[in-house]
Structure 1
């Protein structure tokens, strides 16, 4: 009788990884988490503490930041094989702009930008899975899960840091469109109510207008009225969590479809019309290129489902 023997995967061995300029600046723990996909974080931190992970033959701690030219010793670890099923399905998102420094995509509504809070993976994990040869892909900012539109992702460390600086200093302009409940009055209005994060009894993160909160500034413009609803433009001058949503809701104009700060009755009405998301879209981005300084003026038109609901309101208002 012939005995069947399953071939075993080769035993993991020590690897040495040289750090390129695009990878410089990362903490060693974050670098290993991405490099060693599938390995529990507890194993990685144990390897760092035990001196199994070394940089230029020396011991380091988890806070060490990598420098171009560093040689990282990665100890034997059980890593996923090339032919194993990926835990994160790769996804190709519509690209609005891309060069060596960054990529800007048009994110669909309903997709988180990263894993966490009950979400196994998001845009950034799926892009990394779809681009396994990319040395670096990092979110330059975030969009709420139900918000569609322009999302910037850095492909170089220096581009990432520069984008963070520009957004923090309000050098760029991020423009959104929102359909709200109510007849908006002013053609242009500055909203500067401070915002404070808080947790509900169930542990859900929320934001409210509060004098103890952080400074927040949104410029709202009226684009079109649809009877009981208004289409607004919103320009972010600061980037607080849920900023546009809370500023508008606190003024009495909640965004259609907003499950945190909006009306259940309104959401149910639009759901029956086939509109099953929040009507908030990051449609325009005006920002200097993080490396060249060249002005970038990027546009993502309103998605078809948003246009369809506006056509319906046009006909019925």
Structure 2
């Protein structure tokens, strides 16, 4: 059955789109109406979508709604005329295929490369999720179950069913899963195992850039650090997230005096320049292992992603020269 079984927008010879109505199914239920429209109306500026919602042109069951309204199964959504890209216009989001670690009818696990955002926004027109949707136009549902920073590589969970997405979100809130990372940091890390529990607070720079800092007014955060190997002036660490705060590993390590190599927000410019001269132009943070029960069956699952070649090569260089 197609994702949207009701009438589609029709573009006339003059380019004028028509009103359309969509009946919400079980896989769409629970989504915010703004997010649903932004995904559905590809090519329409977000500002137009929000203007249509504020103006009452978007209606659910004939009534006005706000942008944060969550759709229910059986709702009838009215979508006003919105000018979409012409059928022969070049695709805005290029499809992409990412290394698949695991896939079934509920879950997709990929090995995300560094340098790719997980979603569009903040100056990025598209990311992994938009490219996956473009590559899988027949997929009924694809949503990120969690986030990775753009420069972080490794395991990324994508839900293929809404029930799976909600279950994954519940697991992460309750700490049912385990996320393990590897990071190369500046300095000689002393302890074999250490718990970092500094609270973290989000703030904005003068230019509007989002940052995070250790602050007593921040939210509780817990990272478990284990020493993997020393390389003289650098150390390879394992990091297990027990909470999922923004930039948590990066800020905890920087606050401890051991910033991650290549980190352009919390690291050291001279270190980043030195590694760039060696051909290593990324942040050394990799999501290497995920342990969690299957979101629908409860079966225990373990996923692993090896360090990318660029990371292993720089470790070999450090080992030869430490």
Q: TM-score, structure 1 length as denominator?
A: 0.91
CA contact (8 A) 1:23 1:156 kept: no
Q: Tell me which residue corresponds to 2:287.
A: 282
CA distance 1:47–1:278, change in 2 (3 Å): closer
Q: CA deviation at 1:166?
A: 1.0
CA RMSD in angstroms comes to 1.9
How many equivalent pairs are there? 310
Match of 2:188 among 180, 183, 189: 183
SS at match of 2:129: helix
Superimposed CA distance per residue, residues 159-204 of structure 1 (whole angstroms, 9 cap, x where no aligned partner): 1121111111111000000011111111111111111122223322
Choose the corresponding residue for 2:250, options 238, 245, 251: 245
Q: 1:211: which partner in 2?
A: 216
Instruction: Determine the structure 2 residue equivalent to 1:92.
Output: 97
Match of 2:73 in 1: 68
Tell me what 1:4 maps to.
none
Deviations 1:127-149 (A, max 9, x none): 12222222222211111111100
Name 1:270's counterpart in structure 2: 275
Greater Rg by CA: 1
| Contact map agreement 1:22 1:155 (CA 8 A) in 2 | no
Q: 1:154 aligns with which of 129, 153, 159?
A: 159
Residue 127 of structure 2 is aligned to residue 122 of structure 1: yes
Q: Which is further off, 46-55 or 153-162?
A: 46-55
* Aligned equivalent of 1:59, options 54, 58, 63: 63
What is the CA distance between 1:251 and its match in structure 2? 1.1
Asked whether the equivalents of residues 33 and 44 of structure 1 are also in contact (C-alpha less than 8 Å), the reply is: yes
Q: Could you tell me which residue of structure 2 aligns to residue 199 of structure 1?
A: 204
In structure 1, what is the equivalent of residue 264 of structure 2?
259
Partner of 2:233: 228
Unaligned residue ranges in structure 2 (runs of 5+): 1-11
Q: Is the 8 A contact 1:137 1:153 kept in 2?
A: yes
For residues 235-256 of structure 1, give each alpha carbon's deviation from its aligned partner in whole angstroms, at most 9, with x where no partner exists.
0000111111111111111111
- Residue of structure 1 equivalent to 2:8: none
- How far is the alpha carbon of 1:46 from its aligned partner? 4.5
CA distance in structure 2 between the partners assigned to 1:266 and 1:49 by the alignment:
48
Q: Does the 8 Å contact 1:109/1:147 carry over to 2?
A: yes
